[in-house]
Amino acid sequence: MKGIIVEDELPAMEELRYLIETYSSIEITDTFSDGLDVLKFLQENETDVVFLDINIPSLDGMLLAGSISKFRKKPYIIFTTAYAEHAARAFELEAFDYILKPYDEERIASVLRKLEAADRREHHTAGSPPPGNKKTVRINLKKDEKIIVTDANDIDYAEANEKDTFVHTKKETYTVHESLSDFYKQLPKDQFFRCHRSYIVNLSKIHEIVQWFNQTYLLRLEDSDAEIPVSRSNVKDFRQLMHL
Q: What is the mean pLDDT of residues 214-227?
A: 86
Counting DSSP H helices and E strands in the chain, the numbers are 7, 15
User: Which range has the top average pLDDT, 7-21, 132-146, 211-225?
Assistant: 7-21
The residue among 196, 198, 214, 190 whose CA lies nearest residue 124 is 190
pLDDT of residue 70: 85
Residue 202 has pLDDT above 60, yes or no: yes
The residue among 187, 186, 218 whose CA lies nearest residue 202 is 187
The per-residue pLDDT for range 126-139, each reduced to its tens digit, is 444 444 444 567 88
Q: Is 178 helix (H, G, I), strand (E, B) or coil?
A: coil
Q: What is the chain's mean pLDDT, rounded?
A: 87
pLDDT of residue 124: 55
Confidence of residue 38 (pLDDT cuts 50, 70, 90): very high
User: 92-113 burial by CB neighbour count: b if 16+ within 10 A, else e?
Assistant: ebebbbbbeeeeeeeebbbbbb
The residue among 118, 109, 139 whose CA lies nearest residue 200 is 139
Residue 147 has pLDDT above 90, yes or no: no
pLDDT of residue 155: 93
pLDDT of residue 84: 84
pLDDT of residue 135: 52
Q: What is the mean pLDDT of residues 75-85?
A: 90
Return the minimum-mean-pLDDT range out of 48-52, 93-97, 145-149: 145-149
Which domains, ranges and CATH numbers included, belong to the chain? 2-126 (3.40.50.2300), 135-242 (2.40.50.1020)
The per-residue pLDDT for range 161-200, each reduced to its tens digit, is 988 999 999 888 998 889 999 999 988 888 899 999 999 9
Q: What is the mean pLDDT of residues 229-242?
A: 88
